[in-house]
Each structure stands twice: as C-alpha cells, then as structure tokens.
Amino acid sequence: MSARPRTTHAFVLAASVAVVMALGACSSSGSATAPTAAGPAQPTSSTATATPSSPAPTPTPTATTTPGSPSGVVMPAAEPAGWTRVYGRDTWTARTVSREFTAYPSRWRDTSNHGRYSGLAKVSVAPGLLVVKIGSDKTGPRVTAIMPNLGKGQRNGRYSIRARTAAVGTGYKTTWVLWPDDERWPLRGSMAWPDGAITGTPTAIVHWATPVGGQDTFSQTASNTDWHTYTIEWIPGRAQFFLDGVLVGTATNKIPATSMHWVLQSETVLGATPPLPTASATIQIDWITMAKRA
C-alpha cells in the first residue's frame, strides 16, 4: 500500500437519511467551502516506519466475555481514569441510528473515485448489531462513510469500536479515520485505525501534521474477519493504538493537534481497477464508544 496525499474538499455534514431496517442476523473527513462531487479525499497507508518511544499507555478497562453479546465482549461500563465518555452505543434501532449518525452524501465519490457514498442507505440493524453493507448496483460501487455522535470534533479523544468484516471477492477497505474539522490535510494530519483491505489485516496510521506529509504506521497480523476491538487514544503530542486492549503502536512525532471528527469510512481500495460488480462487503459493529479528557 502507498500513501498518496490528495486535494481535500470541504466537509459538510450530510443530512441523515432513512435507515433500512434489517431483520434477523446478518453475515459474516481555512474555512469550509461547498463540497464537490468528489467529496473529501482521505489518505491511505504506506510502508511502516519506526515507532517512536513514548510514555506508558493508559490502562484499558477489562471487557467481560459474555456469550449473550453478539461479539462475545460487552461494551465497557466506563472509560479509564482521566477520560469522560461522550458517546456510547451497544443497542441499535433504526431510530437511534438516524438520530445519532450522519454520513457522507451520495453526490460524493470515495477516495479512489471508483465508488460513490450512499448516506445512511446502506446502514441497517440486526439483533444487537449495526450493519454496513457495501457493493455495486447499476450505478457502480456504493460505499459508506458514517459519523457517530453526529460527527462532532474534539481536540483529543479515546475512540473504540468492536467490529468484524466479511467480503465476497476483493476491492473494498476500511479507513476509520480521525479527520480534521477544517479539512486542511496534510497540514493538520489525521489518524486511522483500522486501515486496510477488508480481506486482509489492519494497519494503524498517524499522518503527520505537516504540509509536506509523512507518517508512522503499525501493521498487524490479525484477521479483519474476526471480532476485534480497535481503540485510538489521542492526547496532545501522542497517539496510541490498541487491538483488543493490547498496545500495538505509539506515535509522538508531529501528532495532530486541531479538532478532529471520527469517520467510519468503508470504501473501494486505491488502484486502477474498481471492484467487480459481484464483489461486496459486510461490516458488523457490536458497540462504539467515544471519550474526551476528563
């Protein structure tokens, strides 16, 4: 995978659209300007760089293994010391999704320009799960970028999501990214976890807050098709990434410092060839939490 900064477009929160209710269990982004049809471009991962040394991480609360939970691990009841939860959701209905999420609108194309976003139209609920489905219709690949808690930005944060993915064929990826509110990338930097092909393994990335770009990356060997808890912990001067509560990388170089919003962006991979019409992907989310410094 390679990093390729692209011209960003202004970010406008899309109005929520109707959510399709799915019954039964499903399988396994200066001043803002008007958005263009291409939508806001997002960075992607590249070759891993050396991990800077850093202070010890904040302890992660121990999650309880629960057979009744769709993923086997319940949402932690509280945040670690020093953090205050601002959003948490582990029960899903069409009403809560439409009230608590915004999404990139259908007039925007994704980063590769192969796909087009779908608002909330491809987001549904199943027992205990939020479900995102991406794939082709007669207009081509349709993808989704959703923002929990109405896409509100923060200058620090702790972001956790428990999810798994499944795919038919290849060509789709996740880039679940903290993106600058003012859209000034690469100047403001960004942070993504997990990033990578749905059929592959996840990578954590800090794109440096500098006009010339650069990044730290932390590649993992875990399978995206298994249930995992992905956590970004961001404070001034430091970003840390956890997989199932285990620290997998710390970055301290040119860390983003301006307000960022969280975008769960699921889209086509970069490359000259779009996904085949028969390719598709399903993302299941058990729970999501967001916190800020207490």
pLDDT in tens, 106-146: 999 999 999 999 999 999 999 999 999 999 999 999 999 99
∠ CA(160), CA(161), CA(167), 5° rounding? 150
Arithmetic mean of pLDDT, 254-261: 98
Contacts of 67 (CB under 8 A, 6+ apart): none
241 DSSP β-pair partners: 232, 249
Residue 27: phi and psi, rounded to 5, are -75, 160
* Residues 267-293, mean pLDDT to the nearest whole number: 97
H/E run at residue 96: helix 94-100
What b/e readout covers 37-57, taking b as 16+ CB neighbours within 10 angstroms?
A: ebbbbbbbbbeebeeeebeeb
Segment 6-31, tens digit of pLDDT:
333 333 333 333 333 333 333 333 33
Place of tokens 């309880």: 64
**Confidence check: pLDDT of 96 > 70:** yes
Question: Domains, the chain, ranges and CATH?
Answer: 83-293 (2.60.120.200)
Proportion of the chain above pLDDT 70, given as a percent: 77
- Please give the distance of CA 59 from its chain centroid, rounded to a whole number: 22
The pTM score is 0.81
Residue range 24-47: mean pLDDT, rounded: 41
User: Cα 112 vs. chain centroid, distance in angstroms?
Assistant: 16
Confidence of residue 173 (pLDDT cuts 50, 70, 90): very high
Q: What is the CA radius of gyration of the chain?
A: 17
For the ranges 3-17, 78-92, 260-274, the lowest mean pLDDT is seen at: 3-17
CB 175, CB 267: distance < 8 Å: yes
CB atoms < 10 A from the CB of 174, how many? 24
Give residue 50's pLDDT.
40
pLDDT at position 41 is 57
